[in-house]
Amino acid sequence: PNVYTIEKQGVHELIYQARWRHNDVIAGMVELSIEIPAKMPHYVRE
């Protein structure tokens, strides 16, 4: 899956993209777009 954040026209969103399967055959792609707060904590892990 692909997971990333974007900002479009001042709105922040988390995007989740993944393939879906039917009978073990890739049948398509699903994309979820979830609005997230603009002021959200961001942690850097090392």
**15 neighbors 2 (Cβ within 8 angstroms):** yes
Q: So what's the pLDDT on residue 40?
A: 87
Backbone angles phi, psi at 43, to 5 degrees: -115, 135
Q: So what's the pLDDT on residue 5?
A: 95
- Strands of 2-8's sheet in order across: 2-8, 11-22, 25-36
Q: So what's the pLDDT on residue 9?
A: 95
At residue 27, what is the residue type? A
- At residue 42, does pLDDT exceed 90? no
What b-and-e string marks burial along 19-36, b requiring 16 or more CB atoms within 10 Å of the CB?
eeeeeeeeeeeeeeeeee
Q: What is the pLDDT of residues 17-40, one digit of tens each?
A: 999 999 999 999 999 999 999 998
